[in-house]
Structure 1
Amino acid sequence: MVAALELYLDTHATRRLRTLWHALEAEGIPTLASLQDSKHRPHVSLAAAARLSPDAVAEALGAVPLGRGLELDMDFVGQFVGRVVWLGITPTPELLDLHRAVHDRLAEGGVEVWEHYRPGRWVPHCTVSLRVPNPLMGPAVRRCLEILPLHATITGASITDHANDIAHALPS
């Protein structure tokens, strides 16, 4: 199971990403669109763990602003081990400052997150697919490149754990 602190994107970017998801699905490439009963929405995860208590995260974060209005630029396609394909976000000082502030507060509040989401290890990205079949990796990357560059603005934040039907909006 995966729980995450997700940042949500403006309507235009969300629409373009959903169009990408549907185009990939039509080519036999699974995306977040078909994962967990289509509960996912395009997002950027600032933190993730096997479990996150929405109340503990909200308490730890306190008044830390969660990026509403922060602008993001997706300019490249990347892959993680395990056939994960994602759109890479240019790491601006504002994004990295937000990420560090969130993790400082989570650590102070005793909220544990996975190591690869911590400052200095995190790769800013927007996941497209978690399990691209090896023979379809090339077509998946090419299709992703077709929508780049993609500009987005953060419009909200949430703690989500789709396997446990948790979607807890956070003040942003």
Structure 2
Amino acid sequence: MVAALELYLDVDATRRVRTLWRALEDEGIPTMKSLLNDKHRPHVSLAAARTLEPSTVVEALAGLTVGRGLTLDMTFVGQFVGRVLWLGVTPTAELLTHHAAVHERLAAAGVETWDLYEPGHWVPHCTVSMRVPNPQMGHAVRRCLEILPLRATVTGAGLADHANDIDVPLT
């Protein structure tokens, strides 16, 4: 199971990522669209862990506008071990400062997150697929490159744990 603090993209960027998901699905490449019965929406995760207690996270972030108004420039495609394909977000000073502020508040509240999402280790990205078949990876990467560059504005944030039906908007 995975719980994440997610940044949501503006309507145009969301539409473009969903179009990419559909194109890949039509070609037999599983994407975030089909993972967990279409519960995912295009996003960039600021933090992730096996579980995150919604009330603790909401309290820790009270008074902080999480992500809203940030500009995210997706300019490259990347892969993580395990056939994970993603659109890479250029790490700007503003984004990294905001990310650090969120993690500072979470840490002060005793919220533990995975090391890979901690400041200094985090790779900002929008996941396309968690399981691209190896023979189709090259094609999937080329498909992703077709929609880049992609500029998005963060319009909201939320805490999501889709396996446990948790979806808590953050203001």
Aligned CA RMSD, in angstroms, stands at 0.5
User: How many Å separate the matches in 1 of 2:83 and 2:9?
Assistant: 24
Secondary structure of 2:33 counterpart: helix
Aligned partners of 2:46, 2:151: CA distance in 1, in Å?
A: 18
Give the 5 Å matches for 1:1-172. 1-171=1-171
Cα pair 1:88 1:124 within 8 Å, conserved: yes
Using the TM superposition, give the Cα deviation of residue 101 of structure 1 relative to its aligned residue in structure 2, in angstroms. Answer: 0.2
Shift of 1:16: 0.2
Contact 1:5-1:47 at 8 Å conserved across structures? yes
Higher mean alpha-carbon deviation, 105-114 vs 64-73, is at 64-73
CA distance in 2, matches of 1:76, 1:107: 30
Gaps of 5+ in 1: none
For 2:38 and 2:61, how far apart are their aligned partners in 1?
28
Q: TM-score, normalised by structure 2?
A: 0.99
Following TM superposition, the consecutive aligned residue runs of length 4 or more in structure 1 with deviations greater than 3 angstroms are: none
**Which secondary structure state, in structure 2, belongs to the residue aligned with residue 136 of structure 1?**
helix
48-57 or 58-67: bigger deviation: 58-67
Q: Is the 8 A contact 1:64 1:101 kept in 2?
A: no
Q: Contact 1:4 / 1:160 at 8 angstroms: preserved in 2?
A: yes
Query: Aligned residues, how many?
Result: 171
Deviations along 1:51-101, whole A, 9 cap, x unmatched?
001110011112122121111100000000000000000001110011000
CA distance, structure 2, for counterparts of residue 99 and residue 93 of structure 1: 10
Unaligned runs of 5+ in 2: none
CA distance in 2, matches of 1:15, 1:128: 13
Distance apart, 1:167 and its partner CA: 0.3
